[in-house]
A and B are shown apart, each in its own frame.
Chain A
Amino acid sequence: MTEIQDERILDLIQGKSEWEEGFRLLTVKYQQRLYWQIRRIVLNHEDANDVIQNTFIKVYRNIAKFEAKSKLYTWLYRIATNEAITFLRKKKRKATVDIEGDTSEITRQLTADTYFDGDEIQIQLQAALSTLPEKQRAVFNLRYFDELSYKEISELLDTSVGALKASYHHAVKKIESFIKAKQL
């Protein structure tokens, strides 16, 4: 099936009578990519569900401001990332323990999550990721899990390819050290 063009989606959303069809097409086209991006930041499904819904509602409210200076997905990705990070910060403020810095808390959360079926090494990988700076984590996720080229990541994060390669290199090295230390 041919993927529907962003321009067509935007036209539909901005039309009074067809916004629902346009918005539905927008969510169908991008929901999975955005969901996994969010999920890797907030980790559990319930939080990811809240964040993705808020993201799309924010997109809907502000779609008129989108002037296609960047690709539609780039804009959506930035809103979703910002929404997920804001959500985590709010959650962190409410939490009695430090969610982000405490890898044992992340391990506990993942183990207790109904919608996480990873094994020990994947839990350690997520715990290792949680120790990385936000942007470095984003670079690793986009390269390692989403298998994007550096050029694509460069467009999303607006960072030079050289800096991204360095960032990915450091992320990989840190993750390796973290997991090896846990296995000792």
Chain B
Amino acid sequence: MNIEQKNIITELKEISPFLLSIRKAEGFAIPKNYFIDLGTDLVDRIEDHAILPDYLKEKIAEGFFCPKNYFEQLSDGIQDEIEDDQQLPAFLKSKKVEGYQVPANYFEALSDDLVAKIELEIALSKEEKQDGFGVPEGYFEKLPSVIIDKIKEGKEDNAAVVSMETTPIKVKPLWHRYNLIGSVAAIGILLLIGFQFLSKEAVDVPINLSDEQALAYLMEEDLDLEQDILNDYSVKEIDDIFQETFLTEELDINLDDIDLDDLDLEEFDF
């Protein structure tokens, strides 16, 4: 038994002799050889789906490739995604109450319709077009490069924003730089600007979103958090993430309005 295990037992003896008396076991089991096969399964899955990160895609070749069995699995994948997304958030469901209506069986048929359209599109893309409509020569060959260039441009823009955000700012106490009158005036201006900014934010909340816009917004909100984590943010930034993910939902309060050091831990369970 190591020192930490001894510490844990001592601590538990003080807090809850009852819990200490319980046999410590979780009861969870796993299939035989699960961990032996997991790494191989993952590599196979990545190779099958060619889930390559951007930096590797750039390295692979100038040409573009299509993942193995991509088109065979595409419609099933999309259908699964659609089925997942059909669990609409409460506020969208409430639109029905507000008077919004859709044709009978619209949502039941939606995924089938979409899959049928996608399959038709895939089929048409494989065949020579017979409908008379054309595109500039080499259009589809150039399109991926155009899109990738746009993505790269976007990345450069984002990188610039990040570097600006991470620039350290040294703040000196206000009274070191300004006299009392100047400080009061500055605070007054800041309060005014802040009030206007907050008021503007409140007014700018999009109320009349379409379903598509609302879903896109919600997806973006989810992705923001995930992206924060994936970006390996700093200690301070991660602290904010955890506050957002865990505390706000548990406490249902605005964390910006409170000082965490002042929290009554007994009351808030944290």
Q: Mask for A157-170, Cβ within 8 A of B = 1, else 0?
A: 11100010011111
Q: A158-B239, A170-B269 are in contact. Are A148 and B42 (CB under 8 A)?
A: no
Out of A57, A119, A125, name the residue touching B46 (CB < 8 Å). Answer: A57
Cβ of B201 within 8 Å of any chain A Cβ, yes or no, is no
Neighbouring B residues of A49 by C-beta, 8 Å: 34
A-contacting 9-mer, from B55-63, B95-103, B107-115, B120-128: B55-63
Closest-by-CB residue of B relative to A57 is B51
Q: Is the CB of A82 within 8 A of B5?
A: no
Q: Is the CB of B87 within 8 A of A40?
A: no
Q: Is the CB of A175 within 8 A of B19?
A: yes
Q: Mask for A126-168, Cβ within 8 A of B = 1, else 0?
A: 1000001111100000011101110000000111000100111
Cβ of B222 within 8 Å of any chain A Cβ, yes or no, is yes
Q: Is the CB of A82 within 8 A of B226?
A: yes
Q: Is the CB of B18 within 8 A of A28?
A: no
Q: Mask for B223-236, Cβ within 8 A of A = 1, else 0?
A: 00110011111110
A166 to B265, CA, bound (A): 7
Neighbouring A residues of B238 by C-beta, 8 Å: 70, 78, 158
A123 to B22, CA, bound (A): 12
A56 to B41, CA, bound (A): 11
A93 to B28, CA, bound (A): 25
A67 to B230, CA, bound (A): 10
Q: Is the CB of B16 within 8 A of A16?
A: no
Which positions 61-101 of chain A face chain B at CB distance < 8 Å?
61-70, 75, 78-79, 82, 85-86, 90, 93-94
Q: Is the CB of A115 within 8 A of B42?
A: no
In the complex, the number of residue pairs spanning A and B with C-beta atoms less than 8 Å apart equals: 176
Neighbouring A residues of B31 by C-beta, 8 Å: 45, 115
Which positions 3-45 of chain B face chain A at CB distance < 8 Å?
4-5, 7-8, 11-12, 15-16, 18-19, 22-31, 34-35, 38-43, 45
A-contacting 9-mer, from B67-75, B191-199, B245-253: B245-253
Out of B19, B30, B52, name the residue touching A115 (CB < 8 Å). Answer: B30
Neighbouring A residues of B266 by C-beta, 8 Å: 170
A78 to B55, CA, bound (A): 23
Q: Mask for A35-56, Cβ within 8 A of B = 1, else 0?
A: 1100110000100010011001
**B contact residues, range:** 35 or more
Q: Is the CB of B27 within 8 A of A27?
A: no
Cβ of B134 within 8 Å of any chain A Cβ, yes or no, is no
Closest-by-CB residue of A relative to B225 is A82
Q: Is the CB of B27 within 8 A of A69?
A: no
15 CB contacts below 8 A, A to B, read: A16-B56, A23-B42, A53-B38, A93-B89, A94-B84, A115-B31, A117-B29, A118-B26, A118-B28, A126-B26, A133-B250, A136-B270, A163-B270, A166-B265, A169-B15
B interface residues (Cβ-Cβ under 8 A, vs A)? 4-5, 7-8, 11-12, 15-16, 18-19, 22-31, 34-35, 38-43, 45-46, 51-56, 59-60, 84, 87, 89, 222, 225-226, 229-235, 238-239, 241-242, 245-247, 249-250, 265-266, 269-270
Inter-chain pairs besides A58-B230, A158-B235, 16 sampled, C-beta below 8 Å: A45-B30, A57-B42, A64-B55, A69-B233, A78-B229, A90-B84, A93-B87, A115-B29, A117-B29, A135-B250, A148-B4, A149-B4, A157-B242, A158-B238, A173-B16, A179-B18
